Chains A and B, each alone.
Chain A
Amino acid sequence: MSAPRTLFDKLWDAHLVKAPTPATPGILYIDLHLIHEVTSPQAFAELRARNLTVRCPERTLATLDHSTPTTPFDDLGQPVYASEEAAAQVAELEKNCAQFGIRLNGWSSDHRGIVHVIGPELGATRPGMTIVCGDSHTSTHGAFGALAFGIGTTEVGHVLATQCLLQSKPKTLAIHVDGSLPRGTSAKDLVLHIIGKIGVNGGTGHVIEYRGAAISALTMEQRMTVCNMSIEAGARAGLIAPDQVTYDYLRGRPYAPQGEDWDKAVAEWNALRSDAGASYDREVHIDASQVRPTVTYGTHPGMVVALDAAVPAATSLQDRRALDYMRVEAGKPLTGMAVDVVFVGSCTNSRLSDLRDAADVLRGRKLAERVRMLVVPGSLAIKREAEQEGLDQVFRAAGAEWREPGCSMCIAMNGDLAQPGQLVVSTSNRNFEGRQGPGARTVLASPAVAAASAVAGCITDPQSLLQEQAA
C-alpha cells in the first residue's frame, strides 16, 4: 500500500510529466489555461518571435475583464474605453485569439465576465484539474479541488507553447476551520479573519488546503471567496476537496461532462481528498465560532479587525504609516468612519449570492448622501440572473450604479476609480495604497457590510440595519 497522500499530492502527482530532480524543476501538465487582455500580449509576441504556435487552443479560454469599461455601451452599441491603450489591448487579445484559434468570451459573448467568475460558471473549472492564469487570484478555482495558481507572462508563454509549466514542489499547509460560522458572518469575514491570523506572508511557498466542518458547510460561492484570497496570505494556491456541494454546483453547466461521463467523473472526483493520516508541512486551527464581521484597517489584507473591536496600536513604522495613510486612529473601532465610495464587485464577491446579500440590506433604503456606490456583477450571466430577480431595481432605487460586468474598481485600470483621499468600502481583495486610485483608501469588507456602510454613510455593522428591519 502506498503512503497516505494529501489532496495536493494527488493533484501534483497526476500532472507530473517529469518529476523534479536536484538539477531541474518538475514539468507540470496544465489542463486549463485562462487568459485575459492584460498579462497575455507579451506572451503572444514571444510566440510570434519564435515562430511557435499554441499547443492546445482547446485548453485555453480567454475573456475580457481588467481594462474593459463597465459603463453602458454607446449609441452604436460599442464599449466606451477609458483610454486608447485599453482599447488597443483588447483589440490585441481579439487578434491573438482569432489567429491562434482560442475561444474568446468577448464583447459579443453571453459568457463575458471576470476570468475567475466565468471559469466555474461555465463548468470549465472542475475537480482534479490543473488551472493557471496570468493573474494571482487564480487561486479561486481551488474551491473545486483543482490545483490552480497565478503565473507571470513569461509562464503564460510557456503554457501557450507547451501546455506545461516548470514547477518546484510547494509545501502544504492545512487550515482546519472547526465549528460553525455565527449568524451574520460571511465567507469574506472568515477569510479576512484567517489572513489576520496567519499574516500576509503566512502561506508563502505553501498550497493551503482548507478543511473542517465550517468549510464543508460553505456553498460553492462562499468557498470561492475563501480560496480567492489565499494569495493574500502569500500562498501559491488554496484548495478545498470536492464533495456533493461541488457536484451539485457543476451538474448541467455548459462544459461539465454529461450523462455517463458525468457519473464516471464523479466517481473519480470522489477520490480527490486527503487520505487519513496524510501529513502536511504545517497545520493551523481556526475556530469559526470566533469569527465576527471583519474589515481591514490598514494597507494590506493582513491588517484586519472585527467591526466591533478597537484598531490595534501600531507596533512598527510600517503600521504607523499605514494608519496615517488610512487616517485611522488606533484604540477605536472602525465603525462610524465616514465613507465616500462603496464598491460591490470583483472575483472575491461579485456572484449572485453576494449581490443578494447587498440587496437584502439595501432593499427599501437609500444611500446616504454623498456616498457613491457601484455594483458590478462578475459576469454577464450573473447580471442577467440578478435582473431577473429584480436586484438591479433594488440597487437603482437605493441610488447605486448598476454596471456592466468586469474587474472595475477592484484594480481601477478601466476608468472606474476613487479620488485621492476618498474612503472606499470594497468587497474586493486588496487594500494596497492606491489600488483603487492614487491616494484612495480601501477598507475590505463583505457585501453586507459594504451595503450597510453605503446606507449609513459610515462603516456600519449590517446587523443593526437588519434588526431594525425585522422589528
Chain B
Amino acid sequence: MKPVSHIRSRTAVLAHENIDTDRIIPARFLTTTERAGLGRFAFNDWRYLADGRENPSFELNRDEARGCEILVAGRNFGCGSSREHAPWALLDYGLRAVLSSEIADIFRNNSLKNGLLALVISESEHRYLLAHPGLELAIDVAAQTIELPDGGRFGFQLDAFAKHCLLAGVDQLGFLLAHNDSIEQYERLRGVAA
C-alpha cells in the first residue's frame, strides 16, 4: 500500500442514502480473479444506459464531477456485501476518499485497508458538503482534519492503528505476522495447536 497523508480535490456528490455494494459494483462483475481494472464497472448500472452509452443524468458523469477524487455520499454508504471489489473499483475509478455521516462497517474496513479514505463526518458537516458539490477540500490524515476553501476546518474519527498504516503505507498483514509468537502461545494454551 502506498502511504496516504494528504488529499486535495474537488468533491463530487452522490446524495442517495444506503448506496449498497451492488450499486458500487454489481455482482455479475465479480467473476474476476484479479483486483485490477475494476474501475470500469464502478456504479455500472447507474453510470451506463442499457445500450452501453454513458447515462447523462448520473451525477458522476457530469463534467464538473469528472476527475474529483473525493466523493461525498448519502448516509450508510457501502451497506450490503463484504466484497472488497467495491473499494478496489472505486480506487481504480479514481476516487481516493469517501465522506459520509455513516459508512457501513465492512466496507469501511475494506476501504482503509486499501488506502481509500472512508471517513465519517458529523451530520451537520455532511449536510453542508452534500449541499455544496464541487468544493475544494484538503484532507490531512495526520491532523485528522478536512479544510474547506474558506479556511473552515473540521475533524474526523480515525482509529490510531488505521491512521498509522495509512501514513506509513504499511499493510496490516506484516503486523499480524510479527505476532507469530503470541499466536503460537495462544494455540498452546487453548490446546488448538495445528
Contacts and interface: CB of A to CB of B under 8 A. Distances in A.
Contacts of A290: none
Contacts of A168: 159
Contact of A24 (B31, B102, B161, B186): B161
Interface in A92-127: 92
A318 interface: yes
A39 B33 CA distance: 8
Interface in A296-320: 300, 302, 316-318
Contact of A434 (B22, B79, B160, B186): B22
Contacts of A31: 192
Contact of B82 (A135, A158, A433): A135
Nearest to A235: B105
A41 B81 contact: no
A256 interface: no
Given A67-B31, A162-B180, A413-B30, A39 B83 contact: yes
Interface string B24-54: 0011101111110000000001000010000
Nearest to A42: B35
Given A67-B31, A150-B106, 10 more contacts: A17-B179, A24-B160, A67-B30, A83-B31, A136-B82, A166-B172, A234-B79, A317-B15, A430-B20, A438-B45
- Could you say which interface size class chain B belongs to? 35 or more
Contacts of A430: 20, 22, 80-81
B194 A56 contact: yes
A17 B161 contact: no
Interface of A: 17-18, 22-25, 27, 29, 31, 38-39, 41-42, 45-46, 50, 52, 55-56, 58, 66-67, 83, 85-86, 88-89, 92, 134-136, 150-155, 157-158, 161-164, 166, 168, 200-201, 204-205, 234, 236, 300, 302, 316-318, 321, 411-413, 417, 420, 430, 432-435, 438-439
Contact of B84 (A39, A56, A435): A39
B114 interface: yes
Contacts of A413: 27-28, 30-31
Given A86-B31, A420-B50, A432 B177 contact: no
B90 to A, nearest CB: 13
A234 B105 contact: yes
B76 interface: yes
Contact of A29 (B76, B172, B175, B183): B183
Contacts of B171: 154
A41 B85 CA distance: 12
A364 B160 CA distance: 62
Contacts of A55: 194
Interface of B: 15-18, 20, 22-23, 26-28, 30-35, 45, 50, 74-76, 79-84, 102, 104-106, 109-110, 113-114, 159-161, 164, 171-173, 175-177, 179-180, 182-183, 186-187, 190, 192, 194
A211 B77 CA distance: 29
Nearest to B110: A152
30 contacts: A27-B179, A29-B186, A29-B192, A38-B30, A39-B82, A39-B83, A39-B84, A42-B35, A66-B27, A88-B31, A135-B81, A136-B81, A136-B82, A150-B82, A154-B110, A154-B113, A155-B109, A155-B113, A158-B176, A161-B173, A162-B179, A164-B179, A204-B76, A234-B76, A300-B20, A321-B16, A413-B28, A432-B23, A433-B22, A435-B27
B82 A27 contact: no
Contact of A17 (B20, B159, B172, B186): B186
A205 B105 CA distance: 6
